[in-house]
Chain A
Amino acid sequence: MAQTMTIHLKVWRQSGPDAKGKLVDYTLENLNEDMSFLEALDVLNEELIKKGEDPVEFDNDCREGICGSCGLMVGGIAHGPMKATAVCQLHMRHYKDGDTIVVEPFRATAFPIIKDLVVDRSAFDRIIAAGGYVSVDTGGAPDANSLPIPKEHVDEAFDFATCIGCGACVASCPNASASLFTGAKVAHLAHLPQGRIERKERVVRMVDQMKAEGFGDCSNHGECEAVCPKQISIAAIAKMRREYLRALFG
């Protein structure tokens, strides 16, 4: 049988966007090492509800690392200590009995806190709306094989297209920059012929929107890549810069 463990949590509680928040201590006993971290939070919430207290709010949905809903700072690292792992797939077996874990929301001015650990990441949607698409209406697309694309270009594009939009890049960045998120979409589309047609307007508009949303500037710490559940390379950011320079001078 799996080992049981006791874990001490310090969880950020904040009742609303303008309320003052604080870290609150909780101790969870009889956790199981096969549990996911979010399941441990479920256990906490069940206990709180039983006591008639408000459960800890945190965004989560697919719990298999693809929807990008979940996102917590766990022990000071976005999504916790495991590489290539969203917090929904972080398991308690990576902790020791008696560990203390600090749980905070993703913090950035552009991600205002809604409640507890839930933040508003709609800035990302607005960055995509600024140009993160190919302008084709439904219908009238040519046959899918009429445009051969080198496999390596598609593979490269795919690596950038795997972004789940969780915001860990912003949360972990010392500058709260959204460059990896924005760069990933710019790079995805710039690697494909379909996306090249609008490449200039796209990068300029997306970068402008990123700035307008109040994200910080990128200082090339590369922390974003280290916490990205999809391990998207900061090569995306370099690509975005090349695309921008091309838009200016190309």
Chain B
Amino acid sequence: MAPRIKHDKPGLWSALASPIGKKVLTGITGFAWAGFVILHMAGNLSYFGAGEAYNEYAHKLLSTGPLLYAVEIVLLICLVIHAILGVNIYLGKRRARKQGYDAYRSAGRPGLQSPSSRTMLLTGVVLLVFLVIHLKSFKFGPGIAEGYSLLVDGEPIRDLKRLVTEKFQHPIYAFGYTGVMVLLGFHLRHGVWSALQSLGAMNRRLTPLIYGIAALLAVGIAAGFVVLPLYIYFFAP
């Protein structure tokens, strides 16, 4: 016999650790990052803006000070939770079916199983590794002290644009970044819809619609990110 349940009312912790709680948390933390990613993409696109729009945008962001730190801490916490739950769900799935099938295939629609949904952990790990490199290259990369500066209204600010332009002139960085952003789109293709389903926001009529919109969003975000490195690599002076 399987173990019987002891308590009817779950505490917050056991609720969060329940199959529902885990998915809700994964969804919320995923959404936080999806929001961040969209803002980041918008920021990237300001590279194409007139004058020093890109650098001014980056500067403005930095000058929010404590607010920025707060957001960064929240994002970091979300990331940790999201990653831990992802690994936990993956390990749980391994336990839930110890012997796999000799033959297995998807039955297709209306199922939503896709290469995207089946590789969430893999794309997630790649994105995590990328994130470390990415932060090292840019956020914690060379700044004013290293000569990447320019004067705006008489004040020296970091010339991030130059750094970005230089980096993306290297094929490894330009194409690596492009590749990872495609994977980001891949991750979001399932992730965005899945988060809504995990939060219980879906019903029979909404699901196909939202699933379609999620695809557009994923492609849009990936496209929004890859134009920058590709433009710089192929066209920038």
**Residue ranges of A at the interface with B (Cβ–Cβ < 8 Å):** 10, 12, 23, 73, 75-78, 81, 83, 102, 104, 107-110, 123, 126, 130, 172, 174-177, 179, 201, 204-205, 207-227, 231, 233-235, 237-242, 244-245, 248
Nearest-neighbour CB distance to chain A for B65, whole angstroms, equals 34
Given contacts A205-B5, A218-B23, contact A107 B99 (CB under 8 A): yes
For the complex with contacts A211-B19, A216-B95, A239-B203, 20 further pairs of A-B residues with Cβ separation under 8 Å are: A10-B102, A73-B101, A77-B105, A104-B101, A174-B118, A175-B92, A201-B9, A212-B3, A217-B23, A217-B89, A220-B112, A220-B197, A222-B110, A225-B111, A226-B107, A226-B109, A226-B110, A235-B204, A241-B24, A248-B10
Which of A216, A234, A248 is close to B97, meaning CB atoms less than 8 Å apart? A216
Which residue in A76, A123, A234, A241 is a CB contact (below 8 Å) of B20? Answer: A241
Query: In the complex where A233-B204, A241-B20, A241-B24 touch, is A222 in contact with B93 (Cβ < 8 A)?
Result: no
Which B residues touch A234, using CB under 8 A?
A: 197, 202, 207
- Is B201 among interface residues, defined by CB-CB distance under 8 A? yes
Residue in B3, B103, B112 whose CB lies within 8 Å of A76: B103
- Is B100 interfacial (CB 8 A cutoff)? yes
B100 touches which of A107, A212, A214 (Cβ 8 Å): A107
B contacts with A, residue count (CB < 8 A): 53
With an 8 A cutoff between CB atoms, is B104 at the interface? yes
Asked whether any CB of chain A lies closer than 8 Å to the CB of B8, the reply is yes
Please, which residues of chain B bring their CB within 8 A of the CB of A211? 18-19
A-B pairs with beta carbons under 8 A, tally: 174
The answer to whether the Cβ of B63 comes within 8 Å of any Cβ in the partner chain is no
Q: How far is the CB of A197 from chain B (nearest CB, A)?
A: 14
Which residues from chain A contact B92 at a C-beta distance below 8 Å?
Answer: 175, 216-217
Q: Is the interface of B mostly helix, strand, loop or mixed?
A: loop
Shortest CB-to-CB span from A178 to chain B, Å, is 9
- Chain B residue at smallest Cβ distance from A79: B107
7 tightest A-B CB contacts, nearest first? A226-B111, A216-B96, A242-B200, A241-B200, A222-B112, A176-B96, A76-B103
Chain A residues contacting B23 (CB-CB under 8 Å) are 217-218, 220, 241
Instruction: Provide the bound-state CA to CA distance between A179 and B96, in Å.
Output: 13
Known: A76-B101, A123-B2, A177-B96. A248 touches B200 (CB 8 A): no
Most buried by A among B19, B101, B108, B203: B19
Determine if A209 and B5 form an interchain contact, defined as CB atoms under 8 angstroms apart.
yes
Residues on B with C-beta less than 8 A from A237 are: 197
Q: How far is A179 from B92 in the complex, measured between Cα atoms in Å? A: 14
A223→B113 contact, CB < 8 A = yes
Residue B190 interfacial (CB < 8 Å): yes
* Cβ B96 vs Cβ A175 within 8 A: yes
Chain B residues with CB under 8 A of A215: 19, 96
Chain A hits for B21, CB < 8 A:
244
Nearest to A73 among chain B residues (CB) is B101
Contacts of A175 in B (CB 8 A): 89, 92-93, 96-97
Distance in angstroms between the alpha carbons of A212 and B2 in the assembled complex: 7
State the Cβ distance, A44 to closest chain B Cβ, in Å.
18
Q: Given the interface contacts A235-B207, A244-B18, does A204 sit within 8 Å of B95 by beta carbon?
A: no
Q: How far is the CA of A238 from the CA of B198 in the complex (A)?
A: 7
A107 and B93 within 8 A (CB)? no
Residue of A nearest to B191 (CB): A220
- Seen from chain B, the residues whose Cβ lies within 8 Å of a Cβ on chain A are 2-5, 8-10, 12, 15, 18-24, 89, 92-93, 95-113, 117-118, 120, 190, 193-194, 197-204, 207
Complex CA gap A234/B200 in Å reads 10
List the A side residues contacting B98 at CB < 8 Å: 109
A223 to B190, CA, bound (A): 13
The chain A residue sitting closest to B197, CB to CB, is A220
A204-B9, A225-B110 are contacts. A241–B95 as well, Cβ < 8 Å?
A: no
Q: A174-B118, A204-B8 are in contact. Are A220 and B193 (CB under 8 A)?
A: yes
Instruction: Give the residues in chain A near B4, CB-CB below 8 Å.
Output: 212
Q: What is the distance, in angstroms, from B38's C-beta to the closest C-beta of chain A? A: 21
B57 to chain A, nearest CB (A): 35
Nearest CB of A to B230, in Å: 32
- Minimum distance in angstroms from B200 CB to a CB of chain A: 4
Q: Which residue of B lies closest to A206 (CB)?
A: B5
Q: Evaluate whether A176 and B105 lie within 8 angstroms (CB atoms) in the complex, with A223-B111, A235-B203 already known.
A: no
Show 25 residue pairs from A and B whose CB-CB distance is below 8 angstroms, ordered by the A residue.
A12-B102, A104-B103, A107-B99, A107-B101, A175-B96, A175-B97, A177-B93, A205-B5, A216-B93, A217-B93, A220-B194, A221-B111, A221-B113, A223-B111, A231-B110, A233-B204, A237-B197, A238-B200, A238-B201, A238-B203, A239-B200, A241-B20, A241-B23, A244-B18, A248-B10
